[in-house]
Structure 1
Amino acid sequence: MNLYDIILSIGFCSHTAVGILGNSFLIWLFLFMLLTGHRLRPIDTILAQLACFNSLLLLSKGIPQTMAALGLKNFLDKNGCIIVFYLHKVSQGLSLNMTCFLSGFQAITISPSSTRWSEFKARAPKYIIPTSSLFCIAHLLLNIIVLENVGGLQGSKNHSELHDYGYCSGIETAKVSSILFGVLVSLHDAVLIGLMIFASGYMILLLYRHHKQNKYIYMANLSPKDSPKIRAIQSILLLMSTFVSFYSLNSILISYMYLRKPRPWLIQCSSLLSICFPTFSPFVLICSDSQLLKYCCVFWGRNAPDI
């Protein structure tokens, strides 16, 4: 094993371990609060599902890539390849959908009651589970294409028709089909990211207006920099910039790889980028969400601070 493989294995292993630890803690935190009789926010249901899908994404992508980087090449047969790729595509799509859903739900929640969204705002929490179930069913059905376009190297007669992903391979389809599939995937991601940016921008605008209207209150008690509204804006910008940065870079790499036969280092970079947001998102949420910090204090048996 050369130095490059060692560095690569350390990168995948550390990302996967830290990400699974963070998301598992977030899931356990919600379960603990629920089992001990504490009242959870409606948005916590979305956060818990996002943590579950991020964990599945890390398990289906990070662990196989780590094993491949450690020298265990092509250890999955055709059925193993199909299962891993299918779980990865489903969890990746659901992670994007739930992040977009989170932004939209937050925007509806903080919208003024006098707007036309007021009636829907009151009923929005009831739609969380049905909407999440619809997302799951849609991605389970749409990603069936993976079952046809993935195969193991061991069962291949023509290795030149396959892209080697280290632990298994993906069948290289016809040029037109590859371009069409890449365009559809990119369009789907672009629409969801666009909706996410719009919802986040709407929230920032509302919080900015609210802050200006109550500026004299903040000036009398604390500096604008330390106000809860400013901290809320910063947390939204931080989560959004984290997601959009990693996802945009990965989308660019994926689009390029659909057009040309990818080199191994491009595949590895794309794989590493695809698990960056699932790795860092639980820590971004815990550090920026004051309610989650209170949950942590309750979990550790300490008095929750006034945040």
Structure 2
Amino acid sequence: MAARDLAIGMIFLVQTTVGILGNSSLLSYYLFLCLTGCRSRPIDLILKHLIVGNSLVILAKGVPQTRAALGLRHSLGDLGCKLLFYVHRVGRGVSISTTCLLSVLQAVIISPWTSRWAELKWNAPKYVSTSISLCWILQMLVNVIFPIYITGKLSNKNITNNKDFRYCSTVRHDKATDSAFAALLSFPDVVCLGLMLGASSCMVLILHRHKQRVQHIRTTNASHQYSESRATKTILLLVSTFVGFYMLSAIFQVTLSVVDNPSWFLLSTNSVITLCFPTVSPYVLMCRDSRASRLCFA
């Protein structure tokens, strides 16, 4: 086994192990809150689905990439490759959608009651479950076209017309078709990214105005305001982490869509970046929530 394969295999192994541990611990924490009868916030429901989406990405991307990099050859076949890629795309889409929903909901929650968003602020938590269901349905429908072009490597008869992804491959088209295909799949992501940036800008502006307003005023509900401010900053940190990794991943995704024979370095780097947010996000949430960190790390 080449040294570079061993190195990248260990990176994938660490990412997968740390990611599964973090997401499973945080999901167990929220399930523990439900079982003990603690009052659940709408944001907690979104976080549960975010964790599920992240877990799907890690299992469908990290595990096969680790096996391929470490030389553990195995044939998934057409069905296995199609299923893995589909689960990865749906999990990734749900992760993006729920992060977007999380930032928009928090921006609505902390908006002043006197604003024109007051009615939306009152009704928004009621539609969280419906919005999450729509996220799952939309991602499953949008990505249903994706497995059509995925095949198992050992079942390929015309290898010259396929683009190799180490453990699976995809049918190669002309650059115009591949670019249009990439644009179609990226459109929901771009919409979510725009909403996230808009909601984050609103949250930053609201926090700044609130800080100026109460800087010299002592209030009886200071603890509640501190809690909301801390939750908002946590979500801003989570969104910033996502946007940073997403922009890097988008650059590599565009490159992969137009390159006929992507190199080992390009494929490996794109996979590492893709796994970064699902791996890091649960620890961002735990570090900002003292209760979760105490229980999970215990």
Q: How far has the Cα of 1:208 moved from its partner? A: 0.8
Q: How far has the Cα of 1:298 moved from its partner? A: 6.5
Give the structure-2-normalised TM-score.
0.91
Give the 3-state SS of the residue equivalent to 2:113 in structure 1. coil
**CA 1:6–1:298: 2 relative to 1, 3 Å:** closer
Q: How far has the Cα of 1:295 moved from its partner? A: 4.4
Runs of 4+ in 1 over 4 A off after TM superposition: 227-234, 295-301
Equivalent runs, 1:113-262 vs 2, <5 Å = 113-217=113-217, 234-261=233-260, 262=262
Return the alpha-carbon distance in structure 1 between the equivalents of residues 232 and 50 of structure 2: 21
Moved more, 145-154 or 8-17: 145-154
8 Å CA contact retained: 1:15, 1:62: yes
Q: How far has the Cα of 1:231 moved from its partner? A: 5.1
**CA 1:184–1:37: 2 relative to 1, 3 Å:** same
Residue identity opposite 2:161 in structure 1: E
Equivalent runs, 1:1-307 vs 2, <5 Å = 1-73=1-73, 75-217=75-217, 234-261=233-260, 262-288=262-288, 292-297=289-294
Residue identity opposite 2:264 in structure 1: P
Deviations 1:224-255 (A, max 9, x none): xxx77775565344222211111101101110
8 Å CA contact retained: 2:75, 2:153: no
Give the 3-state SS of the residue equivalent to 1:111 in structure 2. coil
Give the 3-state SS of the residue equivalent to 1:203 in structure 2. helix
**CA 1:137–1:159: 2 relative to 1, 3 Å:** same
How many residue pairs get aligned? The number is 291
When the two chains are superposed, the root-mean-square deviation of aligned CA atoms in Å is 2.1
User: What is the match of residue 222 of structure 2?
Assistant: none
8 Å CA contact retained: 1:29, 1:296: no
Q: How far has the Cα of 1:75 moved from its partner? A: 2.4
**CA 1:99–1:71: 2 relative to 1, 3 Å:** same
Identity %: 42
Q: How far has the Cα of 1:38 moved from its partner? A: 1.1
Please list every run of 5 or more consecutive structure 2 residues that lacks an aligned counterpart in the other structure. 219-225
Give the structure-1-normalised TM-score.
0.89
Moved more, 22-31 or 156-165: 156-165
Q: How far has the Cα of 1:186 moved from its partner? A: 3.5
Residue identity opposite 2:254 in structure 1: S
Return the alpha-carbon distance in structure 1 between the equivalents of residues 91 and 295 of structure 2: 30
Return the alpha-carbon distance in structure 2 between the equivalents of residues 135 and 229 of structure 1: 25
Return the alpha-carbon distance in structure 2 between the equivalents of residues 245 and 40 of structure 1: 30
Return the alpha-carbon distance in structure 1 between the equivalents of residues 179 and 286 of structure 2: 39
Deviations 1:183-217 (A, max 9, x none): 23334322211210110110111011001111124
8 Å CA contact retained: 2:20, 2:55: yes
User: What is the match of residue 222 of structure 1?
Assistant: none
Return the alpha-carbon distance in structure 2 between the equivalents of residues 236 and 131 of structure 1: 18
Please list every run of 5 or more consecutive structure 1 residues that lacks an aligned counterpart in the other structure. 219-226, 302-307
Moved more, 169-178 or 106-115: 169-178
Give the 3-state SS of the residue equivalent to 2:170 in structure 1. strand
8 Å CA contact retained: 1:74, 1:153: no
Return the alpha-carbon distance in structure 2 between the equivalents of residues 295 and 152 of structure 1: 41
**CA 1:300–1:195: 2 relative to 1, 3 Å:** closer
Return the alpha-carbon distance in structure 2 between the equivalents of residues 109 and 229 of structure 1: 9
User: What is the match of residue 223 of structure 2?
Assistant: none
User: What is the match of residue 305 of structure 1?
Assistant: none
